[in-house]
Amino acid sequence: MKNFIPVVIECIILAAIYGLAALLSQPLRRWIRAEEPPFPGWAAAAKDLAARLARPVAVLILTWPAIWLLMLFPGMARWLKTNPLHLTAWLSLWVVMALINLVEGAARQFYALREKPFPVADLLGSIIRVLLIAAAIFSILRMELGVDISPLLASTALLTAVVGFALQGVLSNLLAGMSLHITRSVVPSDWISIGDVKGRVVATNWRETRVRNIHGHLTIVPNSTVASSVIHNLRRQTPMRRHSFHVGASYADAPAEVIEALLAAARSVPQVLPEPAPEAFITEFKDFGINYVLRYWTEPSQELCITDGDVARMIWYQFKRCGIEIPFPMSDKLLNDFMQVVYRQRSMPDEDEAILRRVEDLKRSDFCTRLLVDGDGRALLGDEDLQSVARSVRRLLYTRGETLFRQGETGDTCFVVVLGSVTGRVEYQDTAEAHEFEFGPGSLAGEMSLMTGMPRTATVVAKEEAELLEIPYRAFACLLAANPEIPAILSRLVAERAAKNTAAYEKLKAMHSVDLAETLREENILKRFLRILAGGTREKAPIHR
């Protein structure tokens, strides 16, 4: 009993030393790893090694003050003098721990400095570390303290057999995890598909593999299931992901137009990669229409479903503007729904009412309130004149994120914003900062290209779902012919407006080599209007790239 009490006190003291060392070293390790080294490379490696050695070194340092305090008590002093090997064994253990951490850290930094992945997986490294520590403990017990470890090994083997029988499932996952880590079949950041689970591997440990699926939820898959399943690795050999979107179109729609609309819809989604380029083709001819498939590529992310939805949304708007119909098979229910749609369409405004709506929208726009007015502010066109123009005007719907036109493109149309809003972006050649602006209802977009023949000076994108009137080349020619005063007035207004913006235009990437001064002179703009009235060809300003 007398010998038992000092042993208990000794164990308590050693546990307190370890606890205090862990408490003091943890903030130090966080500080070392959080601070950015002034010189990367070797400095970062040295700091990582210092963080790994912080705890065992702290234990070794704190041991000596603890021994000094114990020597103040006569009973403990006699115990330590008669059992000096206990202190030697304790110090030897932590020296070995420091050496293990030092070797592991040096090996990891060796590969890190050469920018190569460490060949030993984390799970396998943890297993090796535990085995080395266990071997060190048994060796110290045998060599330093003279303990016969044979009964201990035998009891350990028996205990291992009992625990192994009781924890078959856990051991199955452990061995499967070791196999996966050795073969590196699945590593964090891989995109995989295992049965119904599809997503990105975020972590692996002794028991499980954690996968963040495409819906953003965390799925925990046991390692035994991963090891026994067929794994589809979506990241090897390429990190890109191919999507296939199937859609049908009417027999009345030309396949070339349908394919071009599908490709335009895919290109309008920012997440779709330009390379490899999207592709579309016919898959089969059905009773109710022609089936097409659109293929495009994206980077792996948690937003795959959102990207597919954006592409589908763009396809609908593209088909709507191009007049492409998506067919559907007729059943009794669908036929009744179809008849209801037809009945509702009969009550919709006819063509004349639609033209009158376009006229009212034009009268409220900047086109009529700012451009088509004389010096006294009177309108140059009446309702009858605007009706002839409105017959060639189209009402179009654009969804959020769709591009009306891009900077540098040639354009022979302009747009009137009826509902919603669009944003413009002008990029300059000599500065990284772009100029952005917004158009609201009644605003004009793209009129300078239509009137001058110059390339587009900005990229305009729908900020939200927007309804616009498209004024094409033919409608503009009809507008110029409606009143003989309009060509001269418009040419003067456009020349004045262009003169104010010439300095900005010269900075544009798409127009930096164009002879702006000559092109934007009033007489040259007037000549272009006269050519439009005469039905001449659509001339475009020269672009030198």
Q: Could you read off the pLDDT tens digit of each residue along the chain, which spans 545 residues? A: 455 666 677 677 777 777 777 777 777 666 665 555 444 566 777 777 788 888 888 888 888 888 787 777 777 777 777 777 877 888 888 888 888 888 888 888 887 777 777 766 666 677 788 888 888 888 887 777 777 767 766 666 666 665 555 556 666 777 777 777 677 778 787 888 887 888 888 888 777 888 888 777 888 888 888 888 888 777 665 667 788 999 999 888 889 999 999 999 999 998 899 988 999 999 999 878 899 999 998 887 767 778 888 999 999 999 988 889 888 765 555 556 666 666 655 554 556 788 888 888 888 888 787 777 766 667 777 878 788 888 888 889 888 888 888 888 888 888 989 999 999 888 876 655 777 888 888 888 888 888 777 888 889 999 888 999 998 888 888 877 877 777 777 777 777 766 666 655 555 444 444 455 565 566 666 666 666 666 644 444 433 33
Give residue 330's pLDDT.
Answer: 57
Give residue 312's pLDDT.
Answer: 92
Which tokens is 9 given?
A: 């006190």
Return the exposure string of 399-422: e unless at least 16 CB atoms fall within 10 Å of the residue's CB, then b.
Answer: beebebbebbeebbbbbbbbebeb
Give residue 294's pLDDT.
Answer: 95
> pTM for the whole thing?
0.51
Give residue 509's pLDDT.
Answer: 45
Give residue 505's pLDDT.
Answer: 53
- CA distances (Å), origin 235, targets 88, 195, 241, 242, 297: 52, 17, 8, 11, 13
For the chain, first and last CA: distance in Å? Answer: 96
Give residue 445's pLDDT.
Answer: 85
Report d(CA 173, CA 209) in Å as an integer.
10
Contact yes or no for 289/250 (Cβ under 8 A): yes
- Which amino acid, residue 15? A
Report d(CA 239, CA 299) in Å as an integer.
7
Domains along the chain?
4-176 (no CATH), 241-322 (3.30.70.100), 351-533 (2.60.120.10)
Report d(CA 375, CA 16) in Å as an integer.
94
